[in-house]
Structure 1
């Protein structure tokens, strides 16, 4: 401690002595030093380099000194560094420019700096060094991943340091809305929330997901922390189709939609409780739709009569369980039936075409109420080997000559 103090005392004495001599020289020459440009303030991020430039005309035999104004400490005189700080240096361009360089700036370097010329009275100019610090998350004071039951509350905390003081903003990672409840405006949906604490009340499963705490103070880079909010609830199963039909020898797919948190164990069984496993007959898949939603699929290959009956999709987690029921039945393949035109003899084609033109565009049943018995009699005549009579009877039915048709019979 003694050596640096003695060094400062010696430097101050030298400065006073030089001032007296130079005052005499100026009086003889008639020119006094003058600052050409003002000393400019500097803002620099911690760890970067800072530079102050002082331009003096007509310096003559005077000396330029650099002083830390707030501590009154002499840093350098002319090109000689006085302070015991290896990060400081002074350069001179051999004309009128003196530069103070501070390498790897620290927070304690912040303050007022003075470029001084030892005239009488003294001439000087000052500038401020602002040291800014990029934001940094204080992890020991910041929340981590959190679990909360559905309907409960969650408080997420994010602390950050830096200079200026960082601004904290909350966003959802998926870009979804943050739901604020209980405020003056009641329930509100926001894309972002500012503040060190994010409070969520009456939490629902739709609010489950990743939340980002973003800290920024204008000094790059901004920083963020990701927090996962887990909302726990017992499984819920929705069955889109509870009754599914399929033709024999085809593949049929059964589906169930499951919502559960924490993640559930999902499986299929037959109605008798027999668990279904994946093999050549059964193929099971799960498709994740969100953090808590899953679509269960069961493909039954080459559907057979033995596959008829009930199926269950079951979901279980640490909170509870749920099941859905699906019944599978066989659908008969619909075969194409012949039209009346396909069975008409060639000699009656023109007559049938005429009748078709007559009824073209008619929508609905051609059979009037009370005609069912007549049509049944006509159909029965086909089995007796008199198709021509059936055709004429049909024609008469279309044209409304019911009385003549009865006389023929």
Structure 2
């Protein structure tokens, strides 16, 4: 009753008296403070809040203290924070639970924490606070976009920080292979490489593109940096059809495939060097095939005799230039001599509407007059046109001799 009256009276002295009475009563009953649950380890990302919960039964008049065990610094006693750290606080549910709260944890908060009861001998339990840090690219130590000549070497570097230390993985943005040379197995193609540094040797144009260095340590989010590798080389021009035939009055398309880096200036000329510009007669376009290749197209409308002859597709960049040659000839539409003139006129009109043309590529080392037999569309050779009359002459001579 006296203890209850003191408690109702309030004041620090009254509360101390109540605690003393409770402690005497617990001792008289043979009850001592006891931890109900173990203190649990906590792993938390830097910047978040961490909590330790200590549950003590039969505390009586004893006190609960929080201590950072590795530095032996007293953090709080009962509900009062002792350390000069505004990020720390302690809560008590007025029964048996005490909670230590660390707001916005930092790397230096990592360590062993102790919940202690001032019995004799002292009772305590400890837990570890692990502070993990998401990965972060160290941009000042990481490679930026770079340019190398074809056949040269490139060294890609990616540095990252975090805890645990991040692992670096390299991939190509387009999903292509990374080519590793110089190892025990020679040239190998892999989808990814691990490590802070990737050495590319004897670089080819196919290795041009965006490379991603990805840093991860199991703490989300993972981070990456995009590094663009430019491979420089002089232009290369390939002509799929060097000999093109088409009837007059039709449209025809000339094509050239160009590879160049840095980006080239591409244009068309006639064989006399006259540059072609887009107008009602000519239409020029380019279609990108990759980071370094384009398809040049020249459409010539309503072909006339003055349009026949040679054309050049030319590509120039800061390293060099290249050109391709295409020759266009007039092709007569096939028709049957036994058909009425009206039918032949109908065929001619139909073919002109379709705007068809025949194109043939020249085989390396082949003759231009053989193009019609290699790809279709070339005019027959003079030798071929003389074959039938020459055979008739031989038969006539043989009959005369036998007679």
TM-score range, shorter chain: 0.7 to 0.9
In structure 1, how many angstroms separate the alpha carbons of the residues matched to 2:75 and 2:232? 63
In structure 1, how many angstroms separate the alpha carbons of the residues matched to 2:337 and 2:21? 127
Contact 2:314 2:324 in 1 (8 A): yes
Give the TM-score, by structure 2 length: 0.78
In structure 1, how many angstroms separate the alpha carbons of the residues matched to 2:142 and 2:253? 47
Matched, 1:116 2:116: yes
Large movers: runs of 4+ above 4 Å: 19-26, 370-373
Gaps of 5+ in 2: 1-18, 341-389, 397-403
Offset at residue 25 of structure 1 (A): 5.8
Residue 193 of structure 1 is matched in structure 2 by 193
Offset at residue 93 of structure 1 (A): 1.4
Residue 348 of structure 1 is matched in structure 2 by none
Offset at residue 20 of structure 1 (A): 10
In structure 2, how many angstroms separate the alpha carbons of the residues matched to 1:107 and 1:168? 22
Contact 2:238 2:257 in 1 (8 A): yes
In structure 2, how many angstroms separate the alpha carbons of the residues matched to 1:291 and 1:165? 35
Quick one: structure 1 residues 67 and 320, their matched pair in 2 at CA, closer, same or farther if it must change by over 3 Å?
Answer: same
In structure 2, how many angstroms separate the alpha carbons of the residues matched to 1:227 and 1:28? 75
Aligned residues: 331
Residue 95 of structure 2 is matched in structure 1 by 95
In structure 1, how many angstroms separate the alpha carbons of the residues matched to 2:156 and 2:317? 26
Quick one: structure 1 residues 107 and 301, their matched pair in 2 at CA, closer, same or farther if it must change by over 3 Å?
Answer: same
Matched, 1:227 2:220: no
Larger-gyration structure (1/2): 1
Instruction: After superposition, give the CA deviation of every residue in 1:123-181 in whole Å (9 maximum; x if it has no partner).
Output: 10000000000000000000000111111110010000001100001000000000000
Instruction: After superposition, give the CA deviation of every residue in 1:352-394 in whole Å (9 maximum; x if it has no partner).
Output: xxxxxxxxxxxxxxxxxx9969xx9xxxxxxxxxxxxxxxxxx
Quick one: structure 1 residues 95 and 27, their matched pair in 2 at CA, closer, same or farther if it must change by over 3 Å?
Answer: closer
Residue 291 of structure 2 is matched in structure 1 by 291
Matched, 1:68 2:68: yes
In structure 1, how many angstroms separate the alpha carbons of the residues matched to 2:391 and 2:154? 74
Contact 1:22 1:62 in 2 (8 A): no
What pairs with 1:10-409 in structure 2 (closer than 5 Å)? 26-338=26-338
Give the TM-score, by structure 1 length: 0.77
Gaps of 5+ in 1: 1-18, 341-369, 377-409
Contact 1:23 1:119 in 2 (8 A): no
Residue 379 of structure 2 is matched in structure 1 by none
Contact 1:22 1:119 in 2 (8 A): no
In structure 1, how many angstroms separate the alpha carbons of the residues matched to 2:98 and 2:288? 67
Offset at residue 248 of structure 1 (A): 1.2
